[in-house]
Structure 1
């Protein structure tokens, strides 16, 4: 296992370098350039030259890339062009805990609801319960997060007043866990909806195949309780598609919550990405793009490791 992990990490290095080159080239080729929104039209040419010299914008593109990737390896993502003098790393670290909290809550909620629903649906296929879960899953996949978020804000936030309509905490109120949870409930549910729907379908399909296997019939013939047969013997072998989905969900810790964070005014990484895109804050965009690529690689690696843990038949 250890040699396999090392090989995967070494293979990821050229992949990340390629992603960084493509991302850097695309952002540099964007119309307007980083100075388009920053410079006063009345700025003198010598002041403009000083500005470009300060940020290295007049260097050849390959020189800019080498400087940027070299600094990034050291943990220096540069400084924001909009918030002048503010390090990009500081902007990211200030918002990362909020995104991690939101994504962890939505992921846990999705698994706690979807996996049992998928199993119960697989245990009673083609029944009213199965059809109800299937229709609910299709609705969850088809419902846009932004529409669901707006409807929840209008109904539960404005009309009923049960939950706050935005933010991560109540202003001018001392910190409390209940206050954070109160603000977290609606965005976490909205973000978990699509994942719940997909996980339920994957779990149902996988468990239906598993429950038809010979070793399940053997376990039942030996007199094991149905609960033990399904949850102990069947679920472990039915987890492979679920683990795959979990690996694909990890990159969402960076950008998957962007729309939800904007709707609920949640100060996270996704909202930072959208704000930086509109303001053409290129150092922030490039840093978040590379970090997202790193999470994709980590997600695939974690999924491969979990395969071997939950299914002993898989060897590396």
Structure 2
């Protein structure tokens, strides 16, 4: 369901070497790197260019002289409230552009590196003025880090959205929600002013959980033919999502129908919530066309611009989850 390190030309997972230019594409041989050159060249060049700009901006910040408005070396002295320092904004925009360029390369290493950049941008700037928090959950889903994806959504939709939370107070807890209940009701996401990115990613997460539960239930047909211990071992290899795979009660269970009904109901609820938050999103997910290459400058709520930005953030996580888009096709046809 999630990405894994492999040759970009043939999918082999052994004897891999890294592209020296982009540093995030792997090949099993020189011949396969040459074979993939035409396909890889444009994205590789874009990443190399974006990295050059980012490294230049980083060097400027590290050499920044202190004055009335700017502390020296804000990368070390101003962690947490970056955006309040004007000289850091070119750096943050360059890092955002680098993360976007890296994500155009559909490899495990690219997605992993993009996650590291985005997470560090949140560390540097708690106020998250560029809105990179909307990127990270979908990236985590692509890496198979479903629990991390949910935890960061839960934190931003509860703690951060609280009226008394001050992003400028670095003594307050930050991104400290761990092991939140992924099976809980998504009602808290569906308020008056919902966040489209959060709704869409949690919808996909719930579908992934549902797929795992159905697979475990179907494995129950082996029960009459296998000893309980062996059946549990077989079932332990079935789940794709961490929250199900690490839940011993679910792996050894025999009754899944009630939880499957609950998850199905939650998926329905989230489908409706996304449609109400932005009527353009589900049709675009099913037929993305030029939306994946559009570059809207602003993204007011409920607009095509908002849809395009969020679709680009999450589309790969959907297509890398087998049968997830089929769920949406079925629901859209009702």
TM-score normalised over the length of structure 2: 0.30
- Structure with bigger helix share is 1
Task: Please identify the structure whose Cα radius of gyration is greater.
Answer: 1
Relative to the length of structure 1, the TM-score reads: 0.31
